[in-house]
Amino acid sequence: MISNIAPFGDTIANTVYTGKSMGSRPIVVVYPFVGDKFGGSDISAIKLIEALQPSEVRPVVVLHKPNGDFVKYLDKRQIDYLTVKVSVLRPRYRGAGSAAAAGYLYTVARLIRFLRRHKADIVHTNDGSIHATWGLPTVLSGARLLWHHRGDPAGRGINLLAPFIASHIVTVSNYAKPTSPLLPISARTSVIHSPFDHPEPLLDREECRLDLVRELGLDEKTRLIGFFGTLIDRKRPIRFVEAIHAFCAQHPELTVAGLLFGSPEHCGERLDVEVAARARELGIEKAIHLMGFRSSINRLMCAMDILLVPAINEPFGRTLIEAMLVGTPVVATNHGGNPEAIVDGETGYLVEPEVPSAFVPPMAKLLKDPSEWQRVSANAQKSALAHYGIRPHTEKIMHIYRELAGRTA
């Protein structure tokens, strides 16, 4: 794994593409990331990058803060990246007058130089901070901006800024489409679901489950209920704890353990601490396990008897589809993009959001009736395999790249 520091000086000259003529060279696409945080949007972007044909696209991965789990993920997958020494703008940041303005102008100037030096055709941005940081420099450099929206459909950036500067907008679901854009954008907006690997071969579920049960020192009959995702308020990890408590109260005859896989947001609220505190308040601290960030998703998903998704305003959660792909039944809130992935009662269950007790009936049905578990598991897997894959995602994104770069017939 090679990481190049790109201080916008001569040291980056050897990374600039100087091969084919402008008309036949690969499309240069820059993918900026914050770098110190790691979530589903980052995984989706890397899945796309890995699927691109080098003859058609030359990806340039850029990190602002090369530390944490995301860098480990890139190293493991042997993804090369550059590091840029400029600050990331925060969409909700309120700066200190002229000093903040001067800092922003400095950032813009440096990124313009970076993009021109790398002969960037397209900048593909994937989260709020990156949209805010790279949007204007992209336009001023002469490159095209592909704004990949994976967040709140009412967000200010997607409604106020993107309509003016984005060459094309991709949303991960119909739910995520901007609700009140300042300019008409329908002609340059596409809905493209995130890319997913199809697991092959399928793992032995009972073996995966017992590995975790033994790791945690639990009784082998314990049923495992999973939560996967960054521990942020939108994903409602506290509601997950409350749902486990509600189930234990109503069904003491079944022993369950709630496992939360994920880390708190970097420099954000310590919801891991709040999760542990809420479990103690409810008297179920022995049933709640903070597992931290782990990367072997398929094996962990196979170990779960059920995945709970208590999130609200979730545009289109990766973990929901990852669970379906391995046949783990999902109980999710009837909110955000979840209804676009789950047919209630057929490929999973949808429940009222913000009501922890609403999770209990479908959980009991799945855990007490093996035939129901098998039915939902089979339906979910069949649906996910039919509708989600890396190839259709990549083909749709490539169509947009070609249009933006003027490579269509």
Where exactly are the structural domains of the chain? 3-195+390-404, 205-387
CA gap 347, 270 in Å, rounded: 33
CA gap 174, 65 in Å, rounded: 32
Residue 59 neighbours by CB under 8 Å, 6+ apart: 29, 30, 31, 49, 52
**188 φ/ψ angles, rounded to the nearest 5 degrees:** -125, 35
CA gap 16, 8 in Å, rounded: 12
- CA dist list (Å): 403 to 26, 60, 116, 370: 14, 19, 20, 50
What was the pLDDT predicted at 296? 77
CA gap 368, 370 in Å, rounded: 6
pLDDT 10s per residue in the chain (409 long)?
A: 444 444 333 333 333 333 333 457 999 999 999 988 777 788 889 999 999 999 999 999 999 999 878 898 999 999 999 999 898 886 554 455 555 667 789 999 999 999 999 999 999 999 999 999 999 999 999 999 999 999 899 999 999 999 999 999 999 999 999 999 999 999 999 999 988 888 777 789 999 999 999 999 999 999 999 999 989 999 999 999 999 999 999 999 999 999 999 888 765 678 899 999 999 999 999 999 999 988 778 899 999 999 999 999 888 888 999 999 999 999 999 999 999 999 999 999 999 999 999 999 999 999 999 999 999 999 999 999 988 889 989 999 999 999 999 987 5
What was the pLDDT predicted at 97? 55
**The domain defined by 205-387 carries CATH number 3.30.750.80:** no
**299 φ/ψ angles, rounded to the nearest 5 degrees:** -65, -40
What was the pLDDT predicted at 100? 64
Provide the 8-state DSSP code for 222: P
CA gap 361, 172 in Å, rounded: 30
Strand partners, 350: 332
Residue 28 neighbours by CB under 8 Å, 6+ apart: 17, 57, 58, 60, 118, 119, 120, 121, 122
Determine whether 236 is exposed, middle or buried from the number of CB atoms within 10 Å of its CB (0-12, 13-18, 19+): buried
**How many Cα atoms sit within 13 Å of 164 on the Cβ side?**
10
Fold adopted by 3-195+390-404:
Rossmann fold (3.40.50)
Reduced to 3 states (helix: H, G, I; strand: E, B; else coil), residue 305 is coil
What was the pLDDT predicted at 230? 87
- CA dist list (Å): 279 to 158, 163, 258, 272, 287: 37, 44, 10, 11, 8
Q: Same CATH fold, 205-387 and 3-195+390-404?
A: yes
Which position has the token pair 């809130």?
333
What was the pLDDT predicted at 210? 94
CA gap 395, 325 in Å, rounded: 21
Q: Structure pTM? A: 0.80
Strand partners, 398: none
